[in-house]
Structure formats: C-alpha cells, structure tokens
C-alpha cells in the first residue's frame, strides 16, 4: 500500500484524479471480494451436501467422533489446546 502524496503539493485536478483512481481501485477490490465470497459459499454448500450424503449412506454424522466436552473446555479456555504430538 503506497502512502498518500503530500496533499499540499497537489492541485485540485490532481486531487480529483487521485480520488477517482482510488475509487476505481476500491471498486475492483470490492468486485473481487464478492467473487471470492461467492466461490466460498458454493464450496461450503458442496461440502455440506457431501456431509449430508455421508450421513445418509453411513447412518451417522462424520463428526460423531468429536469429543464435544473437550471441545467446549478448549473453547472456554478451561483446558489447554490438544498437543498434536500426544
């Protein structure tokens, strides 16, 4: 991110041009962000559909092995996070 130039040295025209350039850049970034969010939503929906199909095929959730009590302790900071080496 480049710093702003010395604003006192800019003419009114230069200032307007800089504003227009930054607004255009913001619009491009915003568009890209919306595209990425759309892709993320599609991928999450696909994953959710796959997990639901697994439940139907296997009769149980793929998350059935999660220790909910241990997870609750970790999230509430009552326990240390699990050590992968253990």
pLDDT 10s digits, 11-64 = 999 999 999 999 999 999 999 999 999 999 999 999 888 888 877 776 666 566
Query: Distance between CA atoms of 54 and 45, rounded to whole angstroms?
Result: 14
Residue 67 has pLDDT above 80, yes or no: no
pTM here is 0.54
Number of domains in the chain: 1
- Domain containing 29 equals 10-75
CA distance 2 to 57: 54
Is residue 51 assigned to a domain?
yes
pLDDT-derived band at 2, boundaries 50, 70, 90: confident
| The pLDDT of residue 18 | 94
Instruction: Let me know if residue 4 belongs to a domain.
Output: no
Given a cut of 90, whether residue 77 has pLDDT beyond it is no
Helices (H), the chain: 12-58, 68-75
Query: Residue 55: inside a domain, yes or no?
Result: yes
* CA separation for the pair 83, 72 (Å, rounded): 16
Give the distance, in angstroms, between the CA of residue 41 and the centroid of all CA atoms in the same chain: 10
pLDDT at 81: 58
Q: What angle do CA 18, 23, 24 make, to 5 degrees?
A: 100
| pLDDT, position 62 | 58
């Amino acid at each position: 991110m480049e710093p702003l130039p010395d604003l006192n040295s800019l003419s009114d025209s230069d200032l307007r041009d800089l504003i227009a350039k930054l607004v255009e850049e913001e619009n491009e970034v915003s568009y890209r962000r919306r595209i990425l969010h759309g892709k993320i939503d599609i991928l999450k929906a696909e994953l959710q559909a796959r997990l639901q199909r697994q439940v139907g095929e296997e009769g149980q959730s793929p998350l059935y092995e999660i220790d909910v009590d241990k997870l609750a302790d970790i999230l509430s900071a009552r326990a240390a996070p699990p050590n992968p080496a253990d």
